[in-house]
Amino acid sequence: MNMTLRWFGHLDDSVTLKQIKQIPKVGGIVGTLNDLKAGEAWPLSRIRALHREVTLEGFSLEVIESVNIHEDIKLGLPSRDKYIEAYIETIRRLASVGVKVICYNFMPVFDWTRSDLAKVLPDKSTVLAYERAKVEAIDPNSLLSHLTGGAGGFSLPGWEPERLQEIVPLLEAYQHITEEQLFLNLTYFLEKTVPVAAECGVKLAIHPDDPPWPVFGLPRIVKNKSDLIRIIEAVDHPSNSLTLCSGSLGASLTNDLSDIFQTFLERDRVAFVHLRNIRHEPNGDFYETAHCDEAGSVPMTHLIKLLSTYNYQGFIRPDHGRMIWGEKARPGYGLYDRALGAMYIQGQWDSFANQREGRSEYETSRNA
């Protein structure tokens, strides 16, 4: 496996490449051009500059997260073709600097949904949390008036006022889109893009919905094992691949993470893995935790063992971490806890690799 860390670029990330370089075993950066709007073809000059910046620090740039999908593609509007053309151009340009995996999601309107970006845990670390009642109290029919500050209106993280103007008509447009239609629109997108990705040696890796159930009445189609099977079979090619995210899929108690990881590793359709842990509360809330087994309900060690057993050769990154030691950073993307996560994952990985190859830990350290 290739251990990576997500980095949002020097303008958008308080964490520096030099800091990441001090985390043992992190060999690759998961990069992005965060300021570009969905639907734009990424300029080659920007891609090259990012590549140069990352490789100069001694990292590879083989994974991009995310190249966002324009809403017209998800809505299946006639204008989707021009946005798909731009996406195809971006795939080709990324491939030209050696990118191998493009992670994306197909969630309408909103990316991940949380109701608290800084829930305080007993040890005073803070984490992202989802309070079910708070989110469900927002009736989809009144979401528009909530967003525009109508009766009882309030705001959740990520609903920036400057996005409101575009969000309101979008929410209206989605009122006519069923899950079936959204799936057909994803298939249309994949039919056009996967052949190009295949030709360029790139894997498109869809990220699961977060949380994996419909939120605010919007359709969601990347929630569970059967959704994932349907997606990979819609265009049956290794370039139509998956990002398995333990925290996103694990938020639903009906998802059997062990079975999901095994199923898609077996079928060789896992290009990227996000590992993070979450804890469920009896009332349906969940919050993110440290990466180790005891901290939450995700069987982290078991998942790492599965990846090792299948001799997983793709990319892994520790996903969202807690905010600890007074760090101020993008919610979920501080340096410290993700570094701890990377080391936890790497430690487990090394130990399983030793077992698999019949080496003792003593031999490994002597050979180092």
Query: What's the Cα-to-Cα distance from 258 to each of 26, 139, 177, 241, 249, rounded to whole Å?
Result: 25, 34, 32, 18, 11
Q: Does 248 bind ligand DNO (CB under 6 A)?
A: yes
The interface region with Mn ion, picked from 211-219, 243-251, 261-269, 347-355 by CB under 5 A, is 243-251
Q: Does 223 bind Mn ion (CB under 5 A)?
A: no
Q: Which of residues 270-299 bind Mn ion (CB under 5 A)?
A: 274
Q: Which of residues 261-320 bind ligand DNO (CB under 6 A)?
A: 274, 319
Q: Does 207 bind ligand DNO (CB under 6 A)?
A: yes
Q: Does 72 bind ligand DNO (CB under 6 A)?
A: no
Give dist(CA 177, CA 146) in Å, integer: 21
105's contact among ligand DNO, Mn ion, none, with CB below 5 to 8 A by partner kind, is ligand DNO
Q: Does 145 bind ligand DNO (CB under 6 A)?
A: no
Give dist(CA 94, CA 51) in Å, integer: 9
Q: Which of residues 309-348 bind Mn ion (CB under 5 A)?
A: 319
Q: Hey, what are 205's tokens?
A: 């890796």
The interface region with ligand DNO, picked from 148-156, 240-248, 260-268, 302-310 by CB under 6 A, is 240-248
Query: What's the Cα-to-Cα distance from 319 to each of 144, 229, 247, 276, 361, rounded to whole Å?
Result: 31, 23, 8, 5, 28
131's contact among Mn ion, ligand DNO, none, with CB below 5 to 8 A by partner kind, is none
- Of 135 and 144, which CB lies nearer to ligand DNO in the complex structure? 135
Q: Does 119 bind Mn ion (CB under 5 A)?
A: no
The two most distant CA atoms of the chain are separated, in Å, by 68
322 φ, ψ (degrees, to nearest 5): -80, 165
CB neighbours of residue 52 within 10 Å: 12
**Of 13, 65, 131, 288, which lies in the binding site for ligand DNO, with binding defined by CB under 6 A?**
65
The interface region with ligand DNO, picked from 99-107, 135-143, 150-158, 281-289 by CB under 6 A, is 99-107
336 φ, ψ (degrees, to nearest 5): -65, -50
Q: Does 103 bind ligand DNO (CB under 6 A)?
A: yes
Pairing assessment for the beta strands 286-289 and 277-280 based on DSSP bridges: antiparallel
288's contact among ligand DNO, Mn ion, none, with CB below 5 to 8 A by partner kind, is none
Give dist(CA 329, CA 14) in Å, integer: 6
Confirm if 283 and 324 have CB atoms less than 8 A apart: no
Binding site for ligand DNO (CB under 6 A): 65-66, 103-105, 111-112, 207, 210, 245, 247-248, 274, 319
Binding site for Mn ion (CB under 5 A): 245, 274, 319
